[in-house]
Amino acid sequence: MSLKGSYKGMFLVSASVILLAVSGCGGEKKAEKADKAPAAATQEQMPKGHPGAPSMQEDISKVQHANIKTQKAVSISDDVKAKWKEAQLEILDAESGASQTVTVKVGSDIKLKEGVRLKVEVVVPDYTIAESRIESRSNELKNPAVLVDLVENDKSISRGWVFRDYPEFNSYNDRRFPLRFLSAGPQTAKK
């Protein structure tokens, strides 16, 4: 091997080392910037009016609550049962577009169409979850909810809670017959 060839080899090795050192340093700077960028970018890139972290946590809680459905036992005192004997509901038939407001006695059901009935199981005037059960904090309409069951051909197709003031917590979810809980009260006298 000639002297000229060995200088050429050393030059290539030296150039490679320098190139690696330069690109390595640049990579470290890029990595530093990348570590700092997400925090700044997330704040700056959020659209105007985008909810912050506390609101996102609240939304997560709502979703978790909506999935509760009726897993927990319902424990309502006799005083509450005696006072809240019916629920007023607004029911939409999404297929026909027809809407109706009905009053349904607790424990009863109404016919929505042939083979489809909606049952009101219980009215809770001041809904709360205490340990492993659902109960009423008071006998006043402070956080009213109604447990309903949509039955088609004797089979439950949608059962869950409907809240008057907080529909985002509803666990009842049927696209054909969406409904709103309007009010609750003692049984009205029949005329």
10-17 LR contacts (CB < 8 Å, sep 24+): none
Q: What's the alpha-carbon Rg for the chain, to the nearest Å?
A: 32
Report percent pLDDT > 70 for the chain: 60
| Cα(89)–Cα(124) distance, integer angstroms | 14
Q: pTM for this one?
A: 0.64
- What is the chain's mean pLDDT, rounded? 77
- Looking at residue 84, the DSSP 8-state letter turns out to be -
Report percent pLDDT > 90 for the chain: 57
